[in-house]
Copies of this chain bind each other. A is one copy, B any other.
Protein backbone atom coordinates (compact mmCIF):
# COMPACT_ATOMS: atom_id res chain seq x y z
CA UNK A 1 0.00 0.00 0.00
CA UNK A 2 1.23 3.47 -0.87
CA UNK A 3 -0.24 6.76 0.32
CA UNK A 4 0.42 9.62 -2.08
CA UNK A 5 0.19 13.02 -0.37
CA UNK A 6 -0.98 16.13 -2.20
CA UNK A 7 1.75 18.50 -3.39
CA UNK A 8 0.59 21.14 -0.92
CA UNK A 9 0.27 18.75 2.05
CA UNK A 10 1.73 20.17 5.22
CA UNK A 11 4.31 18.33 7.39
CA UNK A 12 1.55 18.06 10.02
CA UNK A 13 -0.71 16.25 7.57
CA UNK A 14 2.10 13.86 6.67
CA UNK A 15 2.64 13.23 10.36
CA UNK A 16 -1.07 12.56 10.89
CA UNK A 17 -1.09 9.93 8.14
CA UNK A 18 2.04 8.30 9.57
CA UNK A 19 0.29 8.13 12.92
CA UNK A 20 -2.91 6.68 11.44
CA UNK A 21 -0.86 3.95 9.75
CA UNK A 22 0.82 3.09 13.04
CA UNK A 23 -2.61 2.99 14.72
CA UNK A 24 -3.50 0.21 12.26
CA UNK A 25 -0.46 -1.76 13.44
CA UNK A 26 1.27 -1.21 10.11
CA UNK A 27 4.67 0.35 9.35
CA UNK A 28 4.87 3.70 7.52
CA UNK A 29 7.84 4.52 5.22
CA UNK A 30 7.73 8.23 4.26
CA UNK A 31 9.55 9.19 1.05
CA UNK A 32 9.83 12.96 0.58
CA UNK A 33 10.08 13.79 -3.14
CA UNK A 34 10.59 16.95 -5.19
CA UNK A 35 6.91 17.88 -5.40
CA UNK A 36 5.22 15.63 -2.85
CA UNK A 37 5.70 12.97 -0.21
CA UNK A 38 4.66 9.38 -0.66
CA UNK A 39 4.33 7.01 2.28
CA UNK A 40 4.90 3.31 1.79
CA UNK A 41 3.10 0.88 4.11
CA UNK A 42 4.28 -2.57 5.08
CA UNK A 43 2.66 -5.11 7.36
CA UNK A 44 -0.47 -7.26 7.26
CA UNK A 45 -2.71 -5.01 5.22
CA UNK A 46 -5.54 -7.53 4.89
CA UNK A 47 -6.52 -7.14 8.50
CA UNK A 48 -7.72 -3.55 8.03
CA UNK A 49 -9.68 -1.42 5.56
CA UNK A 50 -7.05 1.11 4.54
CA UNK A 51 -9.42 2.96 2.23
CA UNK A 52 -10.17 5.24 5.15
CA UNK A 53 -6.64 6.65 4.90
CA UNK A 54 -7.71 8.10 1.58
CA UNK A 55 -9.93 10.65 3.24
CA UNK A 56 -7.41 12.09 5.72
CA UNK A 57 -6.50 15.74 5.04
CA UNK A 58 -3.66 16.18 2.55
CA UNK A 59 -3.96 12.69 1.07
CA UNK A 60 -4.20 12.67 -2.70
CA UNK A 61 -4.45 8.99 -3.48
CA UNK A 62 -4.12 5.49 -2.09
CA UNK A 63 -2.41 2.86 -4.23
CA UNK A 64 -2.65 -0.82 -3.44
CA UNK A 65 0.49 -2.81 -4.09
CA UNK A 66 -0.04 -6.37 -2.93
CA UNK A 67 -2.45 -8.61 -4.79
CA UNK A 68 -5.26 -9.79 -2.51
CA UNK A 69 -5.30 -13.42 -3.70
CA UNK A 70 -2.95 -15.89 -2.10
CA UNK A 71 -3.92 -19.49 -2.81
CA UNK A 72 -4.63 -18.78 -6.47
CA UNK A 73 -1.35 -16.91 -6.86
CA UNK A 74 1.70 -18.35 -8.57
CA UNK A 75 3.89 -16.44 -6.13
CA UNK A 76 2.56 -18.55 -3.28
CA UNK A 77 2.37 -21.79 -5.26
CA UNK A 78 4.82 -21.86 -8.12
CA UNK A 79 4.06 -25.26 -9.67
CA UNK A 80 1.23 -25.56 -12.19
CA UNK A 81 -1.97 -27.11 -10.92
CA UNK A 82 -3.10 -30.20 -12.82
CA UNK A 83 -6.75 -31.20 -12.39
CA UNK A 84 -7.03 -34.97 -12.52
CA UNK A 85 -10.22 -36.43 -13.93
CA UNK A 86 -11.18 -40.08 -14.47
CA UNK A 87 -10.05 -40.20 -18.10
CA UNK A 88 -7.86 -37.16 -18.50
CA UNK A 89 -5.80 -34.49 -16.76
CA UNK A 90 -6.24 -30.78 -17.38
CA UNK A 91 -3.10 -28.68 -17.27
CA UNK A 92 -0.01 -27.51 -19.21
CA UNK A 93 1.29 -29.83 -21.94
CA UNK A 94 -2.16 -31.19 -22.67
CA UNK A 95 -4.98 -29.52 -24.58
CA UNK A 96 -8.30 -30.82 -23.29
CA UNK A 97 -11.56 -30.72 -25.17
CA UNK A 98 -14.91 -30.55 -23.41
CA UNK A 99 -17.78 -30.62 -25.87
CA UNK A 100 -21.52 -31.07 -25.98
CA UNK A 101 -24.84 -29.30 -26.37
CA UNK A 102 -25.85 -26.14 -24.54
CA UNK A 103 -28.58 -28.01 -22.68
CA UNK A 104 -29.75 -31.55 -22.08
CA UNK A 105 -32.74 -31.81 -24.40
CA UNK A 106 -33.49 -35.53 -24.27
CA UNK A 107 -31.74 -38.83 -23.68
CA UNK A 108 -31.18 -39.75 -27.32
CA UNK A 109 -29.22 -36.65 -28.21
CA UNK A 110 -27.05 -36.85 -25.12
CA UNK A 111 -26.20 -40.50 -25.68
CA UNK A 112 -25.51 -39.87 -29.34
CA UNK A 113 -23.21 -36.97 -28.51
CA UNK A 114 -21.41 -38.91 -25.77
CA UNK A 115 -20.76 -41.83 -28.10
CA UNK A 116 -19.61 -39.54 -30.86
CA UNK A 117 -17.13 -37.85 -28.53
CA UNK A 118 -15.79 -41.08 -27.00
CA UNK A 119 -15.17 -42.49 -30.50
CA UNK A 120 -12.95 -39.49 -31.14
CA UNK A 121 -11.11 -39.77 -27.85
CA UNK A 122 -12.82 -36.77 -26.27
CA UNK A 123 -13.52 -37.81 -22.69
CA UNK A 124 -15.57 -34.92 -21.31
CA UNK A 125 -19.15 -34.01 -22.15
CA UNK A 126 -20.65 -30.62 -21.35
CA UNK A 127 -24.42 -30.09 -21.15
CA UNK A 128 -26.65 -28.08 -18.85
CA UNK A 129 -29.53 -29.52 -16.86
CA UNK A 130 -30.08 -26.16 -15.15
CA UNK A 131 -29.91 -23.24 -17.56
CA UNK A 132 -29.49 -19.58 -16.64
CA UNK A 133 -31.59 -17.77 -19.25
CA UNK A 134 -31.98 -14.02 -19.45
CA UNK A 135 -35.72 -14.42 -20.08
CA UNK A 136 -38.09 -16.11 -17.62
CA UNK A 137 -40.07 -17.28 -20.64
CA UNK A 138 -37.19 -19.26 -22.21
CA UNK A 139 -36.51 -22.97 -21.72
CA UNK A 140 -34.95 -23.30 -18.24
CA UNK A 141 -33.44 -26.75 -18.61
CA UNK A 142 -34.68 -30.26 -17.70
CA UNK A 143 -33.44 -30.00 -14.11
CA UNK A 144 -33.03 -33.19 -12.12
CA UNK A 145 -34.28 -35.26 -15.05
CA UNK A 146 -31.48 -33.82 -17.10
CA UNK A 147 -28.94 -34.86 -14.48
CA UNK A 148 -30.24 -38.44 -14.67
CA UNK A 149 -29.71 -38.48 -18.40
CA UNK A 150 -26.14 -37.25 -17.93
CA UNK A 151 -25.48 -39.98 -15.36
CA UNK A 152 -26.83 -42.54 -17.79
CA UNK A 153 -24.51 -41.25 -20.51
CA UNK A 154 -21.56 -41.63 -18.17
CA UNK A 155 -22.64 -45.12 -17.08
CA UNK A 156 -23.05 -46.26 -20.64
CA UNK A 157 -20.05 -44.63 -22.35
CA UNK A 158 -17.64 -43.81 -19.56
CA UNK A 159 -17.54 -40.14 -20.54
CA UNK A 160 -16.90 -37.52 -17.85
CA UNK A 161 -19.64 -34.96 -17.15
CA UNK A 162 -19.25 -31.17 -16.91
CA UNK A 163 -22.49 -29.48 -15.88
CA UNK A 164 -23.58 -26.23 -14.31
CA UNK A 165 -24.72 -25.60 -10.76
CA UNK A 166 -26.93 -22.54 -10.35
CA UNK A 167 -27.88 -22.60 -6.68
CA UNK A 168 -27.12 -24.27 -3.39
CA UNK A 169 -30.48 -26.07 -3.42
CA UNK A 170 -29.32 -28.39 -6.19
CA UNK A 171 -25.71 -28.64 -5.05
CA UNK A 172 -25.84 -32.22 -3.78
CA UNK A 173 -27.52 -33.49 -6.94
CA UNK A 174 -25.12 -31.73 -9.27
CA UNK A 175 -22.10 -32.74 -7.24
CA UNK A 176 -23.20 -36.36 -7.49
CA UNK A 177 -23.84 -36.24 -11.23
CA UNK A 178 -20.86 -34.16 -12.31
CA UNK A 179 -17.17 -34.89 -12.73
CA UNK A 180 -16.62 -31.15 -12.98
CA UNK A 181 -19.04 -28.59 -11.48
CA UNK A 182 -19.43 -25.57 -13.70
CA UNK A 183 -20.06 -22.12 -12.20
CA UNK A 184 -21.50 -19.85 -14.86
CA UNK A 185 -20.55 -16.32 -15.82
CA UNK A 186 -23.50 -14.70 -14.04
CA UNK A 187 -22.60 -16.51 -10.82
CA UNK A 188 -18.87 -15.77 -10.71
CA UNK A 189 -19.47 -13.51 -7.74
CA UNK A 190 -22.34 -15.48 -6.22
CA UNK A 191 -20.32 -15.89 -3.06
CA UNK A 192 -22.80 -18.20 -1.32
CA UNK A 193 -22.53 -20.57 -4.27
CA UNK A 194 -18.73 -20.32 -4.29
CA UNK A 195 -18.61 -21.20 -0.59
CA UNK A 196 -20.78 -24.24 -1.28
CA UNK A 197 -18.62 -25.65 -4.09
CA UNK A 198 -15.59 -24.99 -1.92
CA UNK A 199 -16.91 -27.94 0.09
CA UNK A 200 -17.48 -30.17 -2.93
CA UNK A 201 -15.22 -33.10 -3.73
CA UNK A 202 -15.35 -32.39 -7.44
CA UNK A 203 -13.27 -29.91 -9.43
CA UNK A 204 -14.86 -26.56 -10.23
CA UNK A 205 -14.85 -24.93 -13.65
CA UNK A 206 -15.15 -21.20 -12.93
CA UNK A 207 -16.26 -19.06 -15.83
CA UNK A 208 -15.10 -15.47 -15.92
CA UNK A 209 -17.79 -12.90 -15.13
CA UNK A 210 -19.08 -10.72 -17.92
CA UNK A 211 -17.06 -7.75 -16.74
CA UNK A 212 -14.68 -9.30 -14.25
CA UNK A 213 -11.12 -8.06 -14.00
CA UNK A 214 -8.46 -10.73 -13.74
CA UNK A 215 -8.09 -9.88 -10.07
CA UNK A 216 -11.79 -10.34 -9.36
CA UNK A 217 -11.73 -13.65 -11.20
CA UNK A 218 -8.80 -14.93 -9.21
CA UNK A 219 -10.49 -13.70 -6.03
CA UNK A 220 -13.54 -15.79 -6.94
CA UNK A 221 -11.21 -18.77 -7.35
CA UNK A 222 -9.73 -17.84 -3.98
CA UNK A 223 -13.19 -18.22 -2.40
CA UNK A 224 -13.34 -21.82 -3.62
CA UNK A 225 -9.76 -22.56 -2.59
CA UNK A 226 -10.03 -20.83 0.78
CA UNK A 227 -12.88 -23.22 1.55
CA UNK A 228 -10.71 -26.23 0.83
CA UNK A 229 -11.28 -27.13 -2.82
CA UNK A 230 -8.04 -26.55 -4.72
CA UNK A 231 -9.21 -28.11 -7.98
CA UNK A 232 -10.23 -24.97 -9.84
CA UNK A 233 -10.23 -24.62 -13.63
CA UNK A 234 -10.64 -21.12 -15.03
CA UNK A 235 -12.64 -20.57 -18.23
CA UNK A 236 -12.57 -17.43 -20.39
CA UNK A 237 -15.85 -17.04 -22.30
CA UNK A 238 -15.88 -13.50 -23.59
CA UNK A 239 -16.36 -10.25 -21.76
CA UNK A 240 -18.65 -7.34 -22.32
CA UNK A 241 -17.28 -4.35 -24.18
CA UNK A 242 -18.56 -1.74 -26.63
CA UNK A 243 -17.81 -4.16 -29.51
CA UNK A 244 -20.84 -5.46 -31.37
CA UNK A 245 -19.28 -7.62 -34.06
CA UNK A 246 -19.71 -10.72 -31.92
CA UNK A 247 -21.88 -11.68 -28.98
CA UNK A 248 -19.10 -11.00 -26.48
CA UNK A 249 -15.44 -10.00 -26.78
CA UNK A 250 -13.42 -13.18 -26.37
CA UNK A 251 -10.42 -12.01 -24.37
CA UNK A 252 -7.63 -14.37 -25.38
CA UNK A 253 -5.13 -11.80 -24.15
CA UNK A 254 -6.01 -12.80 -20.60
CA UNK A 255 -4.28 -16.16 -21.05
CA UNK A 256 -0.63 -15.03 -20.71
CA UNK A 257 -1.35 -12.94 -17.58
CA UNK A 258 -3.32 -15.83 -16.03
CA UNK A 259 -0.34 -18.10 -16.63
CA UNK A 260 1.99 -15.51 -15.13
CA UNK A 261 -0.03 -14.65 -12.04
CA UNK A 262 -1.66 -17.98 -11.26
CA UNK A 263 -0.90 -21.70 -11.34
CA UNK A 264 -4.47 -22.66 -12.25
CA UNK A 265 -5.33 -24.12 -15.67
CA UNK A 266 -7.41 -22.03 -18.07
CA UNK A 267 -9.83 -23.13 -20.77
CA UNK A 268 -11.52 -21.04 -23.45
CA UNK A 269 -15.16 -21.19 -24.57
CA UNK A 270 -15.21 -19.85 -28.13
CA UNK A 271 -18.89 -20.75 -28.58
CA UNK A 272 -20.21 -18.26 -26.06
CA UNK A 273 -17.24 -16.03 -26.78
CA UNK A 274 -18.28 -15.44 -30.38
CA UNK A 275 -21.95 -16.48 -30.53
CA UNK A 276 -21.58 -17.58 -34.15
CA UNK A 277 -20.59 -21.04 -35.26
CA UNK A 278 -18.52 -19.77 -38.22
CA UNK A 279 -16.27 -17.86 -35.86
CA UNK A 280 -15.69 -20.78 -33.49
CA UNK A 281 -12.95 -22.71 -35.36
CA UNK A 282 -10.54 -19.77 -35.89
CA UNK A 283 -10.94 -18.67 -32.27
CA UNK A 284 -10.50 -22.26 -31.04
CA UNK A 285 -7.19 -22.47 -32.90
CA UNK A 286 -6.19 -19.08 -31.58
CA UNK A 287 -6.92 -20.18 -28.01
CA UNK A 288 -4.59 -23.16 -28.49
CA UNK A 289 -1.86 -20.94 -29.93
CA UNK A 290 -2.25 -18.38 -27.14
CA UNK A 291 -1.50 -21.04 -24.53
CA UNK A 292 -4.90 -22.09 -23.20
CA UNK A 293 -5.11 -25.55 -21.63
CA UNK A 294 -8.22 -26.58 -23.55
CA UNK A 295 -11.63 -25.69 -24.90
CA UNK A 296 -15.26 -25.76 -23.86
CA UNK A 297 -17.20 -26.20 -27.10
CA UNK A 298 -20.86 -26.31 -28.00
CA UNK A 299 -21.68 -29.07 -30.46
CA UNK A 300 -25.09 -30.48 -31.33
CA UNK A 301 -26.24 -33.39 -33.51
CA UNK A 302 -28.74 -31.04 -35.18
CA UNK A 303 -27.88 -27.43 -34.32
CA UNK A 304 -30.60 -25.90 -36.50
CA UNK A 305 -33.21 -27.43 -34.22
CA UNK A 306 -31.43 -26.98 -30.88
CA UNK A 307 -33.55 -25.66 -28.01
CA UNK A 308 -30.91 -23.10 -27.15
CA UNK A 309 -27.69 -21.67 -28.61
CA UNK A 310 -28.09 -23.49 -31.95
CA UNK A 311 -26.57 -20.55 -33.79
CA UNK A 312 -23.26 -20.98 -31.99
CA UNK A 313 -23.13 -24.80 -31.98
CA UNK A 314 -21.03 -26.85 -34.38
CA UNK A 315 -22.56 -29.92 -35.98
CA UNK A 316 -20.59 -33.16 -35.80
CA UNK A 317 -18.98 -32.76 -39.23
CA UNK A 318 -17.75 -29.27 -38.36
CA UNK A 319 -16.43 -30.56 -35.04
CA UNK A 320 -14.50 -33.29 -36.89
CA UNK A 321 -12.91 -30.72 -39.18
CA UNK A 322 -11.95 -28.55 -36.20
CA UNK A 323 -10.50 -31.58 -34.41
CA UNK A 324 -8.26 -32.25 -37.40
CA UNK A 325 -7.02 -28.66 -37.43
CA UNK A 326 -6.37 -28.70 -33.70
CA UNK A 327 -4.35 -31.89 -34.03
CA UNK A 328 -2.21 -30.47 -36.81
CA UNK A 329 -1.49 -27.23 -34.96
CA UNK A 330 -1.00 -28.72 -31.49
CA UNK A 331 2.01 -30.81 -32.54
CA UNK A 332 4.38 -27.94 -33.45
CA UNK A 333 3.27 -26.18 -30.27
CA UNK A 334 4.33 -29.20 -28.21
CA UNK A 335 0.83 -29.92 -26.96
CA UNK A 336 -1.08 -33.19 -26.77
CA UNK A 337 -4.82 -33.20 -27.44
CA UNK A 338 -6.96 -35.15 -25.01
- List the interface of chain A (C-beta within 8 A of B): 2, 4, 6-8, 29, 31-36, 38, 40, 42-44, 46, 49, 51-52, 54-55, 60-61, 63, 65-66, 68, 75-76, 78, 132-137, 140, 166-169, 186-187, 189-193, 195, 209-211, 213-214, 216, 219, 222-223, 226-227, 238-246, 249-257, 260, 273-274, 276-279, 282-283, 285-291, 303-311, 325, 328-329, 331-333
Given contacts A65-B63, A137-B46, A260-B278, contact A243 B34 (CB under 8 A): no
A31 touches B29 (CB 8 A): yes
Cα separation A208 to B187 with both chains bound (whole Å): 15
Residues of B within 8 A of A250 (CB): 252-253
Nearest-neighbor residue (CB-CB) of A189 within chain B: B186
CB within 8 A of A242: which of B52, B213, B260? Answer: B213
Give A137 Cβ to nearest chain B Cβ, in Å: 5
Residues of B within 8 A of A287 (CB): 286
Cα separation A75 to B5 with both chains bound (whole Å): 11
Q: How many copies does the complex hold?
A: 4
Contacts A2-B63, A49-B307 given; 13 further ones with Cβ under 8 A?
A34-B44, A52-B310, A54-B276, A132-B189, A133-B191, A140-B191, A243-B253, A246-B257, A252-B252, A252-B283, A282-B289, A282-B290, A283-B290
Given contacts A167-B192, A304-B52, contact A65 B4 (CB under 8 A): yes
Cα separation A184 to B251 with both chains bound (whole Å): 23
B308 touches A6 (CB 8 A): no
Residues of B within 8 A of A226 (CB): 136-137
Give A74 Cβ to nearest chain B Cβ, in Å: 9
B213 touches A52 (CB 8 A): no
Give 5 closest A-B pairs by Cβ, nearest first: A167-B192, A33-B42, A211-B211, A286-B290, A328-B332
Given contacts A40-B29, A245-B254, A289-B286, contact A186 B192 (CB under 8 A): no
A36 touches B192 (CB 8 A): no
A216 touches B134 (CB 8 A): yes
CB within 8 A of A329: which of B193, B238, B289? Answer: B289
Given contacts A186-B190, A283-B252, A332-B332, contact A31 B42 (CB under 8 A): yes
